[in-house]
């Protein structure tokens, strides 16, 4: 299958930016739909990318923007609901997927690549995972002759500007100590560059139609181990206090009422399922997974060096 053009939903996000950059300077024309074009002008230097302001939740808009496009990549997802700000699991993970499938087929699109998540399914404990599972089901059921669908189920994704390890590093700098919920929850974190490569590699490959790829890194870590590693890299000596199940729940109940909802009961429920692959999706695609130790020191470790440099400057000024 030949793909000359692709439309990306969620293309201004963490994974989307890496996919767009991987497609940069290729013959593939990239269209990225965004609710706020001016906020995402950093993508405009990509020569073969068109940034379009559009409401992706409007079916008529999707049909219009999908016209003349060979493939659609759907990366839209929300980790925490905020009904007041229009962020609902059902809208982002289920209704949008249904609209994408129907609009793509109506517009003559032949290819859909869909981002799901490990642990997604109807019997999962959290609404995030349940709705992700429903969206995954809708996407895969649309796979048929003439319309190829591939689904990806990554573990937690790490890389520069991630919202996982960077968030813990920030909390370790700000808080006098860090109360850590569900410290023994297990993950097999996957590098964002490997996830982007998997999407791009599958884009025009008919052998991947109807397939679901679980994407994980090479090693399993508990949440406690990951946070301790972040502390080591940034030189933090703050106490990291693993919370019991009871206190993890209490923390979730409290923090989901704070602005930005840094941790919610739904997050707690998601953590009850280990984010570990049962199938080596990267291996099936011939991609060797990147270890945390190979990349994270490059973007967390430099902060420690910068902090030491600033401290030396202040000291020098006092001399």
- Looking at residue 305, its pLDDT comes to 47
Task: Please tell me the distance from the alpha carbon of residue 77 to that of residue 132, in angstroms, as a whole number.
Answer: 8
- Looking at residue 208, its pLDDT comes to 98
Task: Please tell me the distance from the alpha carbon of residue 221 to that of residue 188, in angstroms, as a whole number.
Answer: 6
Domains of the chain are: 5-156+190-216+278-284 (3.40.50.720)
Q: How many helices (H) and strands (E) does the chain have?
A: 13, 13
**Residue 241 main-chain phi, psi, to 5 deg:** -110, 110
Tokens of 247: 């206190």
Q: Convert the pLDDT of each residue in 99-122 to its tens digit.
A: 999 999 999 999 999 999 999 999
Which residues have CB under 8 Å from 168's CB, separation 6+?
A: 178, 226, 227, 230
Tokens of 219: 């090693």
- Looking at residue 315, its pLDDT comes to 46
Q: Convert the pLDDT of each residue in 156-195 to its tens digit.
A: 999 999 999 999 999 999 999 999 999 999 999 999 999 9
Cβ proximity of 89 and 264 under 8 Å: no
Burial (Cβ within 10 Å: 0-12, 13-18, ≥19) of residue 246: exposed
- Looking at residue 275, its pLDDT comes to 97
Greatest CA separation found in the chain? Answer: 75
**SS3 breakdown of the chain: % helix, strand, coil, rounded to 5?**
45, 20, 35
**Residue 239 main-chain phi, psi, to 5 deg:** -70, 135
Helix residue ranges per DSSP H, the chain:
14-23, 59-66, 89-90, 96-106, 127-141, 165-174, 192-202, 223-234, 245-255, 265-270, 281-284, 292-296, 302-318
Instruction: Report helix angle 223-234 to 165-174, nearest 10.
Output: 60
Residue written as tokens 């919920």? 181
Q: Cα dihedral sign for 25, 284, 99, 89?
A: negative
Task: Please tell me the distance from the alpha carbon of residue 296 to that of residue 257, in angstroms, as a whole number.
Answer: 31
Provide the residue-wise pLDDT of the chain in tens; the chain has 319 residues. 899 999 999 999 999 999 999 999 899 999 999 999 999 999 999 999 999 999 999 999 999 999 999 999 999 999 988 776 778 999 999 999 999 999 999 999 999 999 999 999 999 999 999 999 999 999 999 999 889 999 999 999 999 999 999 999 999 999 999 999 999 999 999 999 999 999 999 999 999 999 999 999 999 999 999 999 999 999 999 999 999 999 999 999 999 998 888 899 999 999 999 999 999 999 999 999 999 999 999 999 865 544 444 444 454 455 4
- Secondary structure of residue 228 in the 3-state scheme: helix
């Amino acid at each position: 299958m030949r793909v000359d053009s692709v439309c990306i939903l969620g293309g201004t996000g963490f994974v989307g930016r890496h996919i767009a950059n991987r497609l940069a300077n290729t013959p593939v024309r990239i269209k990225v739909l965004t609710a706020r074009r001016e906020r995402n002008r950093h993508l405009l230097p990509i020569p073969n990318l068109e940034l379009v302001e559009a409401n992706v939740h409007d079916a008529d808009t999707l049909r219009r923007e999908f016209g003349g496009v060979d493939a659609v990549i759907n990366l839209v997802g929300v980790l925490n609901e905020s009904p007041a700000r229009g962020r609902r699991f059902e809208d982002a993970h289920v209704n949008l997927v249904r609209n994408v499938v129907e609009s793509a087929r109506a517009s003559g699109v032949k290819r859909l690549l869909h981002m799901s998540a490990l642990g997604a399914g109807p019997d999962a404990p959290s609404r995030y995972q349940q709705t992700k599972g429903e969206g995954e089901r809708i996407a895969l059921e649309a796979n048929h002759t003439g319309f190829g669908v591939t689904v990806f189920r990554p573990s937690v994704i790490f890389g520069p500007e991630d919202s996982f390890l960077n968030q813990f590093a920030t909390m370790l700098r700000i808080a006098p100590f860090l109360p850590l919920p569900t410290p023994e929850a297990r993950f097999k974190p996957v590098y964002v560059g490997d996830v982007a490569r998997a999407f791009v590699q599958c884009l025009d490959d008919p052998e991947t139609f109807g397939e679901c790829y679980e994407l994980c890194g090479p090693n399993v870590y508990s949440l406690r181990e990951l946070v301790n590693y972040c502390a080591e890299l940034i030189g933090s000596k703050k106490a990291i206090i693993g919370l019991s199940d009871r206190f993890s729940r209490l923390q979730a109940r409290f923090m989901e009422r704070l602005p930005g909802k840094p941790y919610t009961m739904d997050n707690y429920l998601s953590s009850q399922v280990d984010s570990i692959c049962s199938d080596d999706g990267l291996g099936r695609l011939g991609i060797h997974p990147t270890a945390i130790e190979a990349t994270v020191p490059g973007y967390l470790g430099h902060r420690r060096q910068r902090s030491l440099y600033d401290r030396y400057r202040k000291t020098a000024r006092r001399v």
